[in-house]
Amino acid sequence: MNVTIFGSGYVGLVTGACLAETGNQVVCVDIDHEKVSMLKRGQIPIYEPGLQEIVSRNIESGRLTFTTDAREGVEHGLFQFIAVGTPPNEDGSADFRYVMAVAETIGKYTDEYKVVVNKSTVPVGTAARVRAAIQGVLREREVDVDFDVTSNPEFLKEGAAVTDFMRPDRIIVGTDNPRTTELFRTLYDPFTRNRDRLITMDIESAELTKYAANAMLATKISFMNEIANMAEQVGADIEQVRLGIGADPRIGYHFIYPGCGFGGSCFPKDVKALIESASSQGHDMQLLRAVRDVNDRQKQVLFDKINRYYDGDLTDKVIAVWGLTFKPNTDDMREAPSLNLLNALWAAGAKVRAYDPVASENVNALFGERDDLFLADSAMEAVEGADALVLVTEWTEFRSPDFPGMHQSMKSPIIFDGRNVYEPDQMEKHGFKYFGIGRGLRI
């Protein structure tokens, strides 16, 4: 099938590459000229395991091409996927102007039947707005061209995006039209071979399903963080509690890890957008306001621990930071808890020696050269001469580092572990002062 994808970011590029991989003819359109020329050369602008191989293979086979020419994109695809960003407005609501810009572009150039697909995460009612926008442009052009607008929200996880897309838990299709259901079945058939994973529903329900999924996951994290903070008040160990509650199949072990707050381009913005969109309908999302507030507070927890340890005087302390991205296996820094930590450390007069396996370029772009930031080439280089180490992102390479070497190289052997990667007993044996999240009495 001929497929066009608007937006070549984390979602658009993975979608385009994976649909090309299963034999479709895919054109990816982006307004970012630099990104498109990189992609045309076969270089991918993001770090995402397995993506480079698929992109290269499909460019070579001629099934995957990139362009900035929107007309070419509209003319090409029966499917017109909209996978552009939906960043938050100042009040937290979703800014869907990029989605609407693509809708108008489709209206401008279409001259035969198209299935327009909202893959971006958009508030309920956006498909109706997209339809109205396309109709409006067609009226101005005084042409009558048939099209359907559908919702097909994306559930991939950065860091495992290719696997998630190739082997989805479910594919949600919101449609009001049986012919589009059939077209989607054909398009997604290669991804659902061992059992049917395609769930069709009305468009509004599909739009809400995406927000509900992210809000539920964010709720699990904030819940665990809340209990972890309680554990510190009473001298309990959250890791024991986690094992204890996860054993109940109604709760389960998935996604109940305490930590230093959730970040990324989705959870924070989607929780806020859902709160705002409910509020615009006169409904107060009390639970989700708490989820958001608990998370905002949790992102300060690491700094608060460090600051308390040093009695509020961090002037010229050298703090090593391991992991800067919002989670492992991605280079995405959007809303990462490390940003809160770094800014708080700098405001308190500390110096940072940071190491992340892939994010150096993005960190440089964010902060530029500054005297109080040294970006190390390795985890061991980061801890040299440090007063303390803070683990913020749980990259696999941090799981069992050379503790004796670190002990020798650090100025003082202190570890603040924002992801509970290490065991307090082990750390004590290695001679470190160790502070995790929710592991015994608060310091």
Residue (58 or 330) nearer to ligand NAD, CB: 330
The residues, any chain, with a CB within 8 Å of residue 127's CB and separated by 6 or more, are 118, 149, 150, 151, 174, 203, 204, 207
Least distance in angstroms from the C-beta of 169 to ligand NAD: 13
Q: Which residues bind ligand NAD (CB under 6 A)?
A: 6-12, 29-32, 35, 83-86, 98, 101-102, 120-121, 154, 156, 158, 265-266
Residue showing the smallest CB distance to ligand NAD in the complex: 9
Q: How many CA atoms lie within 13 A of 215 on its CB side?
A: 20
Q: Nearest-5° angle of CA 332, CA 308, CA 395? A: 25
Residue (120 or 298) nearer to ligand NAD, CB: 120
Encoded tokens for 293: 């507030």
Residue 28 annotated as catalytic: no
SS3 81: strand
Q: Nearest-5° angle of CA 124, CA 127, CA 133? A: 130
CA distance 316 to 130: 54
Least distance in angstroms from the C-beta of 120 to ligand NAD: 3
Phi-psi sector, 62: left (phi>0), alpha (psi -120 to 50), beta: left
Least distance in angstroms from the C-beta of 226 to ligand NAD: 25
Least distance in angstroms from the C-beta of 25 to ligand NAD: 18
Output DSSP code: residue 371: T
Residue (10 or 416) nearer to ligand NAD, CB: 10
Output DSSP code: residue 397: G
Residue (164 or 372) nearer to ligand NAD, CB: 164
The residues, any chain, with a CB within 8 Å of residue 24's CB and separated by 6 or more, are 1, 2, 3, 63, 187
Residue (171 or 379) nearer to ligand NAD, CB: 171
Residue (267 or 435) nearer to ligand NAD, CB: 267
Least distance in angstroms from the C-beta of 15 to ligand NAD: 9
SS3 282: coil
Compute how many other C-beta atoms are within 10 angstroms of the C-beta atom of residue 140: 10
Sheet holding 2-6, edge to edge: 64-67, 25-29, 2-6, 79-82, 114-118, 147-151, 171-174, 198-201
Please give the positions annotated as active site: 266
